[in-house]
Structure 1
Amino acid sequence: MDIFDETLGASRSLAGTFGDMVDVVPNDAQDLPQPAVKLYVETGGALVVMPLSGTAPITVQVPDFSELSLNVRRVFASGTTAAGIKAYVI
């Protein structure tokens, strides 16, 4: 059974919170191909992101091997020092 997630503007399965995990290439000008349900970071540092419903970027410090449980539409190259970023997508 699928549900419609108003925040993401997409249907998703009740069987899980995400359907795939994809590599993220930080980019100041372009959104992710698909909104991320959350981000996984292998090497900690600063992560500059645009929340799905946000109007301004936010910066968070994350440790190695961490997850950021935030719907994200863009990961900025400027200011991001974290590496090995992966997006959980529907």
Structure 2
Amino acid sequence: MDPFLYHGSGLESPANDAIAITPSDAADLATVVRALFCTGDGTVRVTMRGGGDPVTLPMIAGVPLPARVRRVWATGTTATGIVGVW
């Protein structure tokens, strides 16, 4: 039973799904995520949902990075075990 089945999800709602992310310099993610997690500290180079130039952000294992991301670049990413949620 899911008592919230017919409730709308907002950006402040808990995530409904997750995907393991393999950083790529060539391909966007299949789904724009709303946060990233990692299992190994480092940096993540991303293109945000709105586009623009890629930016490099720090990541700490287990700490969510609340960002609407459409690409995680291989070049410039050192964090490991990256997961996106939406």
Matches within 5 A, 1:11-90: 13-14=9-10, 16-89=13-86
Rg comparison, structure with higher value: 2
2:81 partner SS:
strand
TM-score of the superposed pair, with normalisation by structure 1: 0.79
1:49 partner SS:
strand
Kindly report the root-mean-square deviation, in angstroms, between the aligned alpha carbons of the 2 structures. 1.6
Q: 2:24–2:71: 8 Å Cα contact kept in structure 1?
A: yes
Poorly superposed stretches of 4+, deviation over 6 Å: none
Q: 2:37–2:61: 8 Å Cα contact kept in structure 1?
A: no
TM-score of the superposed pair, with normalisation by structure 2: 0.82
Q: Which runs of 5+ in 2 are unaligned?
A: 1-6
Number of residue pairs aligned between Structure 1 and Structure 2: 79
Higher share of residues assigned strand: 1
Q: Which runs of 5+ in 1 are unaligned?
A: 3-12
